Amino acid sequence: MASTGGDKRIGKLPPMRAPAGYELASRYRLLEPVGRGGMGTVWRAHDGLLDRDVAVKEVRLPLVLDEELRAELCARTEREGRATAMVAHPSVITVFDVVTEDDRPWIVMELLHARSLEELVKQNGPLPPRRVAEIGRHVLGALRAVHAKGILHRDVKPSNVLVTDDRTVLTDFGLAAFEGDASITQAGIVLGSAGYIAPERVLGDRASPGADLWSLGATLYTAVEGRGLHGRRTAAAALAALTSGEPIPMDLAGPLAPVLRGLLQIDPNARLDGMRASLMLARVAAGGSAEEPLGGPHRPASRSQATTGGPPPGPHTIPAAPRRPSHRGQHRADARPDRAVYVPPPHDSGPRGPQRSAEGSHRKSPDPAAGRRRAPASPDAGQVIRQLSEIMRMVLPRRFWPKNMR
Element (H, E) at 391: helix 381-395
The neighbour count for residue 319, using CB atoms within 10 Å, is 5
The one-letter amino acid code at 161 reads V
Give alpha helix (H) positions in 129-197.
129-148
3-state secondary structure of 207: coil
Q: How many CA atoms lie within 13 A of 281 on its CB side?
A: 25
223: number of Cβ within 10 Å: 26
- Classify residue 32 as left (phi > 0), alpha (psi -120 to 50) or beta: beta
CA 386 vs CA 42, 342, 375: distances in Å:
112, 20, 20
Residue 131 burial (C-beta neighbours within 10 Å; 0-12, 13-18, 19+) = middle
Q: How many CB atoms are located within 10 Å of the residue 282 CB?
A: 17
| 57 annotated ligand binder | yes
CA–CA separation, 176 vs 73, rounded Å? 10
Contact 273, 211 (CB under 8 A): no
Which residue in the list 47, 102, 103, 155 is annotated as catalytic? 155
Catalytic status, residue 155: yes
Q: Which residues are annotated as a binding site for ATP?
A: 57
By annotation, the residues acting in catalysis are 155
Q: Which residues are annotated as a binding site?
A: 57
